[in-house]
Structure 1
Amino acid sequence: MNSVLPSASVTAEQLTALEVVNAIARAIGEAPAVLHEPQFAGNEWEYLKECLDSTFVSSVGKFVDRFEKDLADYTGARYSVAVVNGTAALHIALKLAGVQAGDEVLTPALTFVATANAVSYCNAIPHFVDCEEATLGMSAVALREYLQSVAELHHGVCINRQSGRPIRAIVPMHTFGHPVDLDGLMAVAHDFKLVMVEDAAESLGSFYHGRHTGTFGRMGTLSFNGNKTITTGGGGAIITDDESLARHGKHLTTTAKLPHRWAYEHDQIGYNYRMPNLNAALGCAQLEQLPGMLSAKRQLFDAYRKACADLPGMHIVREPAYSQSNFWLQTLKLERENMALRDAILEATNAAGYMTRPIWRPMHKLQPYVGCPRMELTVTSSLEQRLINLPSSSGLGARGAR
């Protein structure tokens, strides 16, 4: 394959960026390559046609029931509730967890905006927590130290002494599919009487000590957006072992309509968050292929790791030692002394046809959330300048030079 050759006038930063471009080319072959695209290589057409032929394309149909069962079977949760997207799943999960208007909810500052938005949909306040280098997710050690200084238990409720508001829940997010320190965070949740809801939107197929992410908290939420490991086009799910929560979640997400042969009776303010049967049909076909996709993404990680092994001052992010990651987005991490290289690498890789992206802008820097409570976010601020997502589609590994 062709390497990108430097001109005589390039700077040292540009030269390093071109070395990254050539490493990507060695791992996945010639450009172009987008960040993450879905792969349709199974029964998608067959199931979609069956769905169309049945005329049950909306919220009622056998594929919704099947997808929920298949998803529960795969994750090991007792129940799953399929909904229209991952944000809707997290919104309802927080309501089911008892989050009320005026409560505070602990969320990572380094996450996609949907995590904070779902808290806001409950008229609650995101309270931002720092992350750790090893997992890129919420730091249990830093959070415990922080809560010991700002929070107190009052009649079994965690209260923020600075704001006077209840801190009701904690929402760890598994960044790019890498499981966080769930043991540490569950201990914090226990000691400070917090309900844990896992944002597992990015971690379908990731396991913590052999157990699927999203099954440790009271509930977990998943996303099946077009850029996720498997897709239903748009879609999400709540997973839980609690039958009453699952039943209530299904009720709320189907407009809180009481069962009746013809009458329209609604006993609560509900939400039209139902996953259409058409989307569920796609999801059933995708879930059948998940093991192969995960294997391909692990091979892709290995290809990147080998191709980038000699790049100075940077490396491909590995899975935590106690976990099995789905490697949803492959990530290049720059050492602190090389953080100034980030933008040059982004410029060179995208110019060469390899779609790369920085990590999300941290939540406390976004206009809607600048006034929210937060702890010191030292690691978050550092990682913001040092992480670059690489093309990560499961079909890419086979393209590279082996």
Structure 2
Amino acid sequence: MENFIISDILSKPYESGEKTNFQIPLLAPYVTETEEKYLQECIRSGWITSAGKFIELFEQKLKDFTHSPYVVAVSSGTAALHLALRAVGVEKDTLAILPNISFVASVNAVHYCDAEPIFVDINSATWQLDENLLLNFLENECFYTKEQTFHKATLKRISALVLVHNLGNLGNISAIQEICERFNIPLVEDAAEALGAFYKGRHAGTFGKVGILSFNGNKIVTTGGGGAVLTKDEHISKKVRHWANQAKISAEEYYHDEVGYNYRLPNPLAAIGVAQMEKIHFLLEKKKLTRDFYADILRGKAIWQETLADSQPNYWLFTALFENSHLIAQKLKENSIQTRKLWYPLNRLPMHQNCLYVQKNDFSWKVYEKSLSLPSSVGLQIQDLEKIAKVLEEGLDEKI
């Protein structure tokens, strides 16, 4: 560790009011005086509902950063994904494909559309959806026309592929794009964790027909709760905005032309988002420095996600595989350092016991069993990292 050179910005203390039982939390938001200033402006102006200048400002900053032609800010990443799936035609009696490792919100949005999920195992190196398993499944267990693909066993239409960018890392997007085009399956990107991640110079969430972002309290940029829909399709952007506003078509009358949702983002939350986006490059730099720190002290002692040559991850949450992950987690907990395992594989959740799982070696379970996510807050101080390193070293020396 003594040979590791770390930027002095890591000595900057937490500036967060987040309450936690741990001295070093897993992921705490990083807020400064700017967020407070913009919130005060909302309160003093009276614009504290789902209208106000900060909503448009926030959407514009997201457009500028991601280069997505259209951005619609909504109340959560889950709401954004629900709207995105509905926009591409995910509906009752259809199937949607997604990786078996993801936060449960990814599949919950599929259920909201009354569709059924198909889970595909992850690549053992990148922990992203395995495109080879996907291709084999579509070629051998499905049939397709010029417009649609159907699952042979159920005759149900495959209405979307939900490509989740796990932990802000990216898989082989080019290969998955080609597969989706060949089989006429709409590509929806769940980039909830991937703000600031790029593939071949393009931002995550801008490759599919629709993409989404999340601004939950643990994300790199947070609004406390919030999300956004990204698309290059103007028609989709208008439909999404319409649905998110209860499908109300008149400013003067309560007239609604279809089923809508209360998915609007309040102006105060957008104000926080504007302040956060003003320091996005700083936040991303801190994430990379933290990742480099862990990579240095754990090299040869643990395994973490492989980064493809064309990918630029955002290093949102550093997660590694340890042979004695349970022991190390307990050791860190005893020292008031918070950790988490990766998400429980979706196919093993009780509501999915009858869902199709495409796999050969079940890497999802192997990765889950050994996984441990380590503190990755932007506000980590150098003394925090030194403490984590010391406890990790002690845990790694312990026999299983």
Task: Please give the TM-score of this superposition, normalised by the length of structure 2.
Answer: 0.88
Deviation track 1:372-393 (CA, whole Å, cap 9, x = no partner) reads: 1221262212111122110000
Q: In structure 2, give the amino acid aligned to 1:305.
A: A
Equivalent position of 2:310 in the other structure: 322
RMSD: 1.9
1:374 partner SS: strand
Per the TM alignment, residue 181 of structure 1 is displaced from its structure 2 partner at its CA by 1.2
C-alpha separation in 2, matches of 1:398 and 1:289: 20
Are 2:344 and 1:350 equivalent residues in the alignment? no
Unpaired runs of 5+ residues, structure 1, are: 2-26
Deviation at 1:309, TM superposition (A): 2.4
One-letter code aligned to 2:352: Y
1:381 matches 2:371: no
**Are 2:390 and 1:390 equivalent residues in the alignment?**
no
Q: Deviations over 1:9-60 (max 9, x none)?
A: xxxxxxxxxxxxxxxxxx999x831110000125101100001111110111
Instruction: Please name the residue that 2:50 is paired with.
Output: 59
User: How many residues align structurally?
Assistant: 368
Deviations 1:151-203 (A, max 9, x none): 00145321100111111110010110001211111111011110000000000
State the partner residue of 1:309.
299
Equivalences for residues 196-345 of structure 1 within 5 A: 196-260=187-251, 262-311=252-301, 314-334=302-322, 338=323, 341-345=324-328
Q: What is the rounded CA distance, in whole Å, between the counterparts of 2:305 and 2:94 in structure 1? A: 35
Check the 8 A contact 1:316/1:333 in 2, yes or no: yes
Counterpart of 2:345, as a letter, is P
Asked if the contact 1:42–1:285 (Cα under 8 Å) also holds between the matched residues in 2, the reply is no
Q: Is the 8 A contact 1:152 1:160 kept in 2?
A: yes
C-alpha separation in 2, matches of 1:368 and 1:111: 15
The 8 Å contact of residues 42 and 289 in structure 1, kept in 2 or not, is answered as no
Residue 302 and residue 121 in structure 1: after superposition, are their counterparts in 2 closer, same or farther (change >3 A)? same
AA in 2 matched with 1:173: V
Match of 2:119 in 1: 128
Residue 84 of structure 2 aligns with which residue?
93
Kept in 1: contact 2:127–2:305 (CA 8 A): no
**Given residue 46 of structure 2, which amino acid in structure 1 is its aligned partner?**
T
Residue of structure 1 aligned with 2:352, choices 351, 357, 369: 369
- Give the letter aligned to residue 272 of structure 1: N
Q: Using the alignment, how far apart are the partners of 1:318 and 1:132 within structure 2?
A: 10
Determine the C-alpha separation between the residues in 2 that align with 1:126 and 1:317.
Answer: 25
Distance, in Å, in 2 between the alignment partners of 1:151 and 1:365 is 24
- TM-fit CA distance, 1:259: 2.7
Contact 2:146–2:184 (8 Å) recurs in 1 = no
Distance of 1:39 and 1:398 partners within structure 2: 16
Distance in 2 of aligned mates of 1:68 and 1:322: 27
Percent of residue pairs identical: 36
Aligned-partner Cα distance in 1 for 2:288–2:226? 24
2:146 and 2:174 mapped to 1: Cα distance?
Answer: 25
CA separation in 2, counterparts of 1:52 and 1:319?
Answer: 44
Residue aligned with 1:93, SS: helix
Deviations 1:355-383 (A, max 9, x none): 11111111111111111122126221211
Please tell me the residue identity of whatever aligns with 1:88.
A
How much does 1:121 deviate? Answer: 0.2
Asked if the contact 2:55/2:267 (under 8 Å) is kept, the reply is yes
Q: Which residue of 1 aligns with 2:104?
A: 113
Helix, strand or coil at the partner of 1:237: strand
1:276 is aligned with what amino acid?
P
Letter in 2 for 1:325: P
Identify if the C-alpha distance between structure 1 residues 106 and 255 changes in structure 2 by more than 3 Å, giving closer, same or farther. same
Q: 1:229: how far off?
A: 0.7
5+ residue gaps in structure 2? 2-9, 14-21, 390-400
State how far apart, in whole Å, the 2-side matches of 1:85 and 1:207 are. Answer: 22
CA contact 2:101–2:343 (8 Å) conserved in 1: yes
